[in-house]
């Protein structure tokens, strides 16, 4: 008698001629993990989809046999969302990368789910258009994965996360039904907004195969200023001061004291003010005259709190400063034997409190907890660094304490990475029982056999 896995593989092979199915150890190991730092899990088989029909055949067969399926894009996720089950399938979607169209007149991009995000942004830029979300993994992350996690990035402070840019989707449900929900119009009030339900669902309800995205005109000018603060206690007041000055920055990024210390040790050419205990990177956009006015208002707003406000003098300096910000994660990773990164969100007025909590929790649990990230919308990446394997228990306790502290500050568990496998167990702390049941009902509706990304997001699904 055939096993459920063999039955599923046989069914999908019959349904789709030429379907790429790999069961060799090398291929399976290459699709066992992601960038979360969680232990990889080797799947039973790897399937490389070519189009939505391939995906539908795989999901119908897997659903009939009760075999779990883990969708996978670029594997750049930080929450374990692409880690498969050892008796399940890894469904690779990077082959859905042939379609990329820019309809400049309608300010719409149409892309296959496997198209790398950097290609979308470059194609839009060639038409003097702009696609907003800019996660640091844009050179490897796929647009389908971005939709699945509702990815964002520094510029999301002004331009919003992926959900704000999604016009329409093509999705294959867990039962193998293709839902075609295209949209080339600027707005619609026809029926339910199903694309919004799938955006951010982390592949637990369906597999995104095609994306329709809105685009905007490129801003005329970008300007980046660094605001050097002499105390952690100045972080919150500085953010409030920027807000009260009625500024709308494209991005406000933070490096806290421990992140700065690590960066300074890693490179001598950073050019950051040696007096700074924390630094805000404030990027502004708009017309030439408008940006000049905003820079003056920024300087005035933070003057009493900052030891220095420095403007990048040209595009080269702006890129160099952004590279320092982008290099932070790698510098932290190289400074310790082990690193985990969690993204959490608090109200922007409580960012300073979050940083102070990291110092307190790190000291209590004996774990380094530097933080950096999107201070403008309260979304920080809190890192856990340790050197001895025996410290993992301390790290887990510090992480648990951090999540509870974030919720107590009025925040939530993730702003861009999602819950995945890493934080699924904490969802009941963040959502009331009625909301959890509604989410479980959606799961049952779109994935009745419960095969998609089992154990991700919803802890019991």
Q: What is the pLDDT along the chain (461 residues), one digit of tens a residue?
A: 889 999 999 999 999 999 999 999 999 999 999 988 889 999 999 999 999 999 999 999 999 999 999 999 999 998 999 999 999 999 999 999 999 999 999 999 999 999 999 999 999 999 999 999 999 888 999 999 999 999 999 999 999 999 999 999 999 999 999 999 998 888 888 889 999 999 999 999 999 999 999 999 999 999 999 999 999 999 999 999 999 999 999 999 999 999 999 998 887 666 788 899 999 999 999 999 999 999 999 999 999 999 999 999 889 989 988 888 888 988 999 999 999 889 999 998 899 999 999 999 999 999 999 999 999 999 999 999 999 999 999 999 999 999 999 999 999 999 999 999 989 999 999 999 999 999 999 999 999 999 999 999 987 76
Integer Cα distance of 390 and 134 in angstroms: 36
According to the 3-state scheme, what is the secondary structure of the chain?
CCCHHHHHHHHHHHHCCCCEEECCHHHHHHCCCCCCCCCCCCCCEEEECCCHHHHHHHHHHHHHHCCCEEEECCCCCCCCCCCCCCCCEEEECCCCCCCEEEEHHHCEEEEECCCEHHHHHHHHHHCCEECCCCCCCCCCCEHHHHHHHCCCCCCHHHHCCHHHHEEEEEEEECCCCEEEECCCCCCCCCCCCHHHHHCCCCCCCEEEEEEEEECEECCCEEEEEEEEECCHHHHHHHHHHHHHCCCCCCEEEEECHHHHHHHHHHCCCCCCCCCCCEEEEEEEEECHHHHHHHHHHHHHHHCCCEEEEEECCCHHHHHHHHHHHHCHHHHHHHCCCEEEEEEEECCHHHHHHHHHHHHHHHHHHCCECCEEEEHHHCEEEEEEEECCHHHHHHHHHHHHHHHHHHHHCCCECCCCCCCCCCCHHHHHHHCCHHHHHHHHHHHHHHCCCCCECCCCCCCCC
Domain spanning 100-217: CATH 2.60.40.420? no
Domain with CATH 3.30.70.2740 in the chain: 336-426
Question: Measuring CA to CA, which residue among 258, 233, 274, 282 is closest to residue 371?
Answer: 258
What's the pLDDT score for residue 381?
95
Indicate where the chain has its CATH 3.30.70.2190 domain(s): 221-329
- The answer to whether residues 339 and 332 touch, using CB atoms and an 8 Å cutoff, is yes
Task: Indicate the fold that domain 336-426 takes in CATH.
Answer: Alpha-Beta Plaits (3.30.70)
pLDDT at 362: 96
CATH architecture of 4-92: 2-Layer Sandwich (3.30)
The whole-number pLDDT of residue 136 equals 85
Specify the pLDDT at position 36: 87
For 142, counting Cβ atoms within 10 Å of its Cβ (0-12 exposed, 13-18 middle, 19+ buried), the class is: buried
Query: With contact defined as beta carbons under 8 Å apart, do 156 and 133 qualify?
Result: yes
Architecture of domain 221-329: 2-Layer Sandwich (3.30)
CA 454-166-350 angle, 5° bins: 75
Q: What is the pLDDT of residue 186?
A: 82
Go through 325-345 and write b for each residue having 16 or more CB atoms within 10 A of its CB, e for each that does not: bebbbebbbebbebbbbbbbb
- Say what the pLDDT of residue 270 is: 67
CATH 3.30.43.10 in the chain, residues? 4-92
Nearest of 88, 82, 111 to residue 204 by alpha carbon: 82
Q: Where, residue-wise, is CATH 3.30.465.10 in the chain?
A: 100-217
> Which pTM value belongs to this model?
0.92
């Amino acid at each position: 008698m055939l096993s459920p896995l063999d039955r599923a593989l046989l069914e999908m092979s019959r349904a789709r001629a030429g379907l790429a199915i790999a069961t060799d150890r090398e291929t399976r190991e290459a699709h066992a993990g992601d960038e979360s730092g969680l232990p990889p899990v080797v799947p039973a088989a790897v399937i490389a989809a070519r189009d939505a029909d391939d995906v539908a055949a795989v999901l119908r067969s897997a659903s009939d046999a009760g075999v779990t399926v883990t969708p996978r894009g670029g594997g750049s996720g930080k929450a374990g969302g692409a880690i498969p089950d050892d008796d399940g399938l890894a469904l690779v979607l990077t082959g859905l990368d042939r379609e990329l169209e820019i309809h400049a007149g309608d300010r719409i991009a149409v892309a296959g789910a496997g198209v790398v995000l950097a290609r979308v942004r470059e194609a839009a830029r060639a038409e003097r258009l702009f696609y907003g979300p800019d996660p640091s993994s844009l050179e490897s992350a796929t647009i389908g994965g971005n939709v699945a996690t509702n990815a964002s990035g520094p510029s999301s402070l002004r331009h919003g996360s992926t959900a704000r840019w999604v016009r329409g989707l093509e999705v294959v449900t867990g039962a193998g039904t293709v839902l075609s929900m295209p949209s080339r119009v600027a707005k619609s009030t026809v029926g339910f907004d199903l694309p919004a339900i799938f955006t951010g669902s982390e592949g637990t309800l369906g597999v995104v195969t095609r994306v329709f995205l809105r685009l905007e005109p490129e801003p005329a000018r970008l300007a980046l200023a660094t605001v050097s603060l002499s105390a952690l206690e100045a972080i919150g007041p500085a953010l409030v001061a920027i807000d009260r000055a009625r500024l709308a920055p494209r991005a406000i990024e933070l490096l806290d004291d421990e992140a700065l210390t690590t960066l300074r040790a890693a490179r001598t050419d950073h050019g950051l003010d040696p007096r700074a205990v924390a630094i805000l990177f404030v990027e502004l956009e708009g017309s030439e005259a408008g940006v000049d006015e905003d820079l003056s208002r920024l300087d005035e707003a933070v003057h009493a709190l900052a030891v220095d406000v420095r403007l990048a003098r040209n595009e080269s300096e702006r890129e160099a400063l952004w590279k320092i910000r982008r290099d932070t994660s790698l510098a932290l990773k190289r400074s310790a034997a082990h690193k985990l990164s969690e993204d959490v969100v608090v109200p922007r007025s409580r960012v300073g409190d979050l940083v102070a909590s990291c110092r307190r929790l790190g000291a209590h649990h004996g774990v380094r907890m530097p933080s950096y990230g999107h201070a403008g919308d309260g979304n920080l990446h809190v890192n856990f660094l340790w050197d001895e394997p025996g410290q993992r228990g301390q790290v887990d306790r510090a992480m648990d304490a951090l999540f509870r502290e974030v919720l107590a500050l009025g925040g939530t568990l993730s702003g861009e990475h999602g819950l995945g496998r890493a934080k699924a167990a904490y969802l009941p702390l963040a959502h009331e029982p009625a909301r959890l049941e509604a989410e479980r009902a959606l799961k049952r509706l779109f994935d009745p056999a419960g095969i998609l990304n089992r154990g991700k997001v919803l802890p019991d699904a």
